[in-house]
Amino acid sequence: MSGQSASLNETIRSEIAGRILSGEWPPGHRIPIELELMAAYGCSRMTVNKVLAALAAEGLIERRRRAGSFVGRQRSQSAVLDIPDVRAEVKALGLPWRMDILARSVRRSTAADRARLGEGAGPRVLALACRHFAGAPVHAIEDRLIDLEAVPEAETAEFDAVPPGAWLLSHVPWSQAEHRIAAVPADDALAGLLGVQPGAACLQVDRRTWRSGRPVTAVRMTHPGDGYSLVARFAPGA
């Protein structure tokens, strides 16, 4: 391949990838057909094919026989044995993170709250519902309880620039954590929040953390099933 052809390949790939990663072309957006790309860049079908194949190999697009090429959903990975920062997860995809706080309330803990937080939960909780975005698509819905006896300063925390999970990681040292992972279908309300079809598969991760045996927080993070994966690496006896 000549240097000129290689440079053109990289130009086309870079421009298409840039539109995808910036959110200009969201998941599901149809990529211009091969003839349109050939005309736009003054190149051969072989060049276009090589670029699309490379983008598909990177996971940026999906090529569907007889239908064309479409922007794929970017998959985020999280370590099973770690407590992730959702903002860092999104930025690792090369996408801008933002968050909407859907609901926020301070209340006396109910029996259901105490069951979620675990034994030793205090009398008051901060309840938060948030929606996290990765560019244009929704990355996750967060349903969180914070035990205000364990973290009283959370009651007045703003959470405007820092998501609740990251705020807790920087303010409260934790000594024990638990993860429960499940696949769930999206009901109508969840589907509307995530921007998926009702019944679509979702990945739901319930996490609890403690400090010296006292509950700190319980959070349920629900992700579109095709946009998130969990990874564990371990050694024998670990």
Task: Tell me the pLDDT band of 235, cut-offs 50, 70 and 90.
Answer: low
| Residue 233 confidence (pLDDT) above 70 | no
- Rounded to a whole number of angstroms, the CA Rg of the chain reads 22
The overall pTM is greater than 0.75: no
pLDDT digits (tens, 9 = 90+) for 94-143: 889 999 999 999 999 999 999 999 999 999 999 999 999 998 899 999 99
In the chain, the domains with their CATH numbers are 3-71 (1.10.10.10), 76-231 (3.40.1410.10)
CA distances from 145 to 102, 107, 133 (A): 14, 10, 20
| pLDDT mean across residues, the chain | 87
Under 8 Å between Cβ of 86 and 165: yes
- CA triplet 145, 136, 28: central angle to 5 degrees? 120
Number of DSSP helices (H) and strands (E) in the chain, helices first:
7, 10
